[in-house]
């Protein structure tokens, strides 16, 4: 509590006391009592955690002509309180004491206990040619404060606490397909909502499936639409290191204050803090404080909260409380879409055969697919050759081998049937129509080329046909390939898709 009496100016600094004919001591206790009541209301209203963060460090400073001045130790707190709680404080206080018509927040130097104006405010006053004003008013007037958000200086906090956002990771650049449509829709909803629709949003899925991309997209959108809001994105690892540094430098109060004051917090790769107890504890409190204040939290991990081992139960239960959305492994169609979108971003036109080939062959994750595309494009630009199936295969030789797997006759039949748009059952049927017979012959040829099965074995897999039928099919396909370039390319594409890398 700091009752700073600055000099013996006759100005009615304690206007209220004189008005009421009270002694300074009794006025102090009246104000203290009223402030305690305001605090008690606010604690009920905003919850223990937020109250501890913001109200505990506050104290009554003075009263000036009906304006109660509350002091806080930092400008940051002043701005936050002014933007978020001042209207409530003012209303509560004047309902307790009609003489209080206004409340202002001032920044004090807590070391000396004297009211010292924040530098910016002091400069402003001097600039107005009024340096002798005893009362230190803040430049933040509650009436002018936006109902949500903060003064222009606040977004810096996002850079201070968080990581840079990748400008490419936007919703526009995110290709939506069956495996990610739920996670995408949930992310969009969070990004576009004014009040958290679910808290937290928890995104999870395997490596390289787009979790980080979606988180950045949410943050980009939020920063664009609400430039005044503090949107902080960082990895759980970074959160931990920041916390450890704060502990080491004895700045945990600042750490808590800062993280608990953001408007949106996005933490990536939460699995990283499994088994890290004190970081989990800190995250837990940060989480509660933000949720209490109605701030959105978005988290991601490689597993669902329940499946992350080494995560405290109470944290798991909080993480499960909002919406948990998973990203599934990509499908061929989604990979095609992503390739087309990435190629467009790179400004290159990919032959459709190359796109189909890559989408089929590189099924592990999107990051690898993107890497493959980048390699092909870089190679083509460096050597000045167009992108073809052959050069792609050459350039990606190692990657393709890593993605290679033993192909079965069933897979060949399925792939060829898909390619020619016929039923897989036609591979076994007796139908002789060319539209069915030719793909069947190609499938037999590829079975001979790509598997170690004998001719009779292959025949049996094609509806119990004789080995001579298979032999005939192989010859026919070779022959046709010699005279029909399109046909040969089709077969070659299928061969490469199915693992014929050599």
Ligand X SMILES: Nc1ncnc2c1ncn2[C@@H]1O[C@H](COP(=O)(O)OP(=O)(O)OP(=O)(O)O)[C@@H](O)[C@H]1O
**Given 212, 279, 355, 393, the residue binding ligand X (CB under 6 A):** 212
Q: Which is nearer to ligand X, 155 or 200 (CB)?
A: 200
Smallest distance from ligand X to CB 485, Å: 34
The set of long-range contacts for 145-149, using a CB threshold of 8 Å and a minimum separation of 24, is 145/82, 145/83, 145/86, 146/83, 146/228, 148/83, 148/226, 148/228, 148/229, 148/263, 149/83, 149/226, 149/228, 149/229, 149/263
Smallest distance from ligand X to CB 368, Å: 9
Q: Could you say which residues in the range 293-322 bind ligand X, by CB under 6 A?
A: 302
Taking residues 362 to 391 in sequence order and writing x for each that binds ligand X by CB under 6 A, - otherwise, the string is: ----xx--x---------------------
User: Is residue 212 part of an annotated ligand binding site?
Assistant: yes
**Given 213, 223, 256, 415, the residue binding ligand X (CB under 6 A):** 213
User: Is residue 208 part of an annotated ligand binding site?
Assistant: yes
476 CB contacts (<8 Å, ≥6 apart)? Answer: 441
**Given 211, 415, 438, 495, the residue binding ligand X (CB under 6 A):** 211
**Given 155, 196, 208, 459, the residue binding ligand X (CB under 6 A):** 208
How far apart CA 209 and CA 302 sit, in angstroms, is: 10
Question: Residue 181 interacts with ligand X (CB under 6 A)?
Answer: no
Q: How far is CA 93 from CA 26, 89, 100, in A?
A: 18, 6, 7
Q: Could you say which residues in the range 145-174 bind ligand X, by CB under 6 A?
A: 169, 173-174
Smallest distance from ligand X to CB 215, Å: 8
User: Is residue 21 part of an annotated ligand binding site?
Assistant: no
Question: Residue 209 interacts with ligand X (CB under 6 A)?
Answer: yes
Taking residues 45 to 74 in sequence order and writing x for each that binds ligand X by CB under 6 A, - otherwise, the string is: ------------------------------
Tell me the HSE value of 115 on the side-chain side, using a 13 A CA sphere. 27
Please tell me whether the peptide bond between 76 and the residue prior to it is cis, using omega within 30 degrees of 0: no
How far apart CA 419 and CA 413 sit, in angstroms, is: 10
How far apart CA 104 and CA 446 sit, in angstroms, is: 81
Question: Residue 280 interacts with ligand X (CB under 6 A)?
Answer: no
How far apart CA 214 and CA 319 sit, in angstroms, is: 18
Total chain residues near ligand X (CB under 6 A): 19
How far apart CA 424 and CA 5 sit, in angstroms, is: 91
Smallest distance from ligand X to CB 275, Å: 18
Q: Where are the strands (E) in 200-288, listed by range?
A: 201-205, 231-235, 264-268
419 and 443 in contact (C-beta within 8 Å)?
Answer: no
Q: Which is nearer to ligand X, 173 or 429 (CB)?
A: 173
Question: What sections of 109-155 are H helices per DSSP?
Answer: 119-127
User: Is residue 211 part of an annotated ligand binding site?
Assistant: yes
Question: Residue 338 interacts with ligand X (CB under 6 A)?
Answer: yes
Q: Which of the stretches 55-63, 72-80, 206-214, 469-477 binds ligand X when contact is defined by CB under 6 A? A: 206-214
Q: Which is nearer to ligand X, 187 or 258 (CB)?
A: 187
State whether residue 223 is helix, strand or coil: helix
The annotated binding site for ATP is made up of 208, 210-212
The annotated binding site is made up of 208, 210-212
Residues that bind ligand X (CB under 6 A): 169, 173-175, 180, 205, 207-213, 269, 302, 338, 366-367, 370
């Amino acid at each position: 509590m700091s009752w700073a009496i600055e000099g013996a100016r006759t100005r009615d600094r304690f206007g209220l006391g004189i008005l009421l004919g009270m002694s300074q001591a009794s006025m102090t206790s009246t104000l203290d009592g009223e402030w305690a009541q305001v605090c008690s209301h606010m604690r009920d209203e905003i919850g223990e955690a937020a109250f501890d963060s913001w109200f505990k460090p506050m104290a009554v400073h003075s009263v000036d002509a009906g304006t109660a001045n509350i002091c806080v130790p930092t400008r940051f707190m002043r701005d936050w309180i002014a933007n978020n709680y001042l209207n409530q404080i003012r209303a509560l206080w004047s309902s307790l004491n009609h003489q209080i018509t206004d409340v202002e927040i001032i920044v004090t130097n807590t070391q000396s206990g004297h009211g010292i104006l924040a530098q910016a405010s002091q400069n402003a006053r001097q600039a107005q040619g009024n340096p002798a004003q005893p009362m230190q008013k803040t430049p933040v007037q509650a009436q002018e404060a936006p109902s949500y958000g903060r003064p222009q200086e606040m977004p810096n906090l996002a850079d201070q606490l968080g990581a840079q956002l990748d400008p490419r990771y936007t919703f526009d650049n995110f290709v939506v397909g069956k495996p990610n449509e739920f996670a995408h829709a949930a992310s969009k909803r969070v990004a576009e909502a004014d009040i958290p629709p679910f808290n937290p949003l928890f995104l999870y899925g395997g490596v390289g499936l787009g979790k980080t991309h979606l988180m950045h997209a949410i943050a980009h959108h939020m920063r664009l639409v609400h430039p005044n809001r503090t949107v902080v994105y960082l990895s759980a690892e970074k959160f931990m290191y920041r916390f450890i540094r704060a502990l080491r430098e004895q700045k945990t109060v600042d750490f808590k204050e800062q993280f608990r004051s953001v408007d949106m917090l996005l933490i990536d790769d939460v699995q990283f803090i499994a088994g890290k107890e004190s970081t989990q504890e800190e995250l837990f409190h940060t989480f509660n404080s933000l949720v209490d204040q109605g701030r959105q939290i978005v988290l991601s991990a490689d597993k669902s909260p329940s499946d992350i081992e080494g995560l405290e139960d109470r944290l798991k239960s909080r993480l499960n409380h909002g919406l948990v959305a998973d990203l599934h492994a990509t499908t061929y169609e989604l990979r095609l879409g992503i390739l087309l979108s990435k190629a467009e971003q790179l400004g290159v036109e990919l032959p459709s055969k190359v796109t189909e080939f890559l989408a089929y062959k590189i099924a592990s994750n999107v990051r690898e697919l993107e890497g493959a595309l980048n390699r092909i494009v870089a190679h083509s630009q460096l050597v000045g050759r167009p992108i073809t199936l052959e050069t792609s295969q050459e350039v990606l030789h190692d990657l393709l081998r890593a993605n290679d797997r033993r192909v079965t006759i069933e897979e060949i039949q399925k792939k060829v049937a898909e390619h020619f748009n016929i039923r897989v059952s036609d591979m076994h049927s007796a139908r002789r129509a060319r539209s069915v017979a030719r793909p069947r012959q190609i499938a037999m040829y590829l079975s001979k080329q790509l598997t170690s099965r004998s001719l009779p074995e292959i025949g049996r897999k094609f509806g119990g046909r004789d080995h001579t039928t298979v032999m005939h099919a192989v010859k026919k396909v070779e022959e046709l390939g010699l005279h029909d370039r399109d046909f040969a390319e089709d077969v070659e594409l299928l061969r490469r898709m199915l693992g014929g890398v050599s």
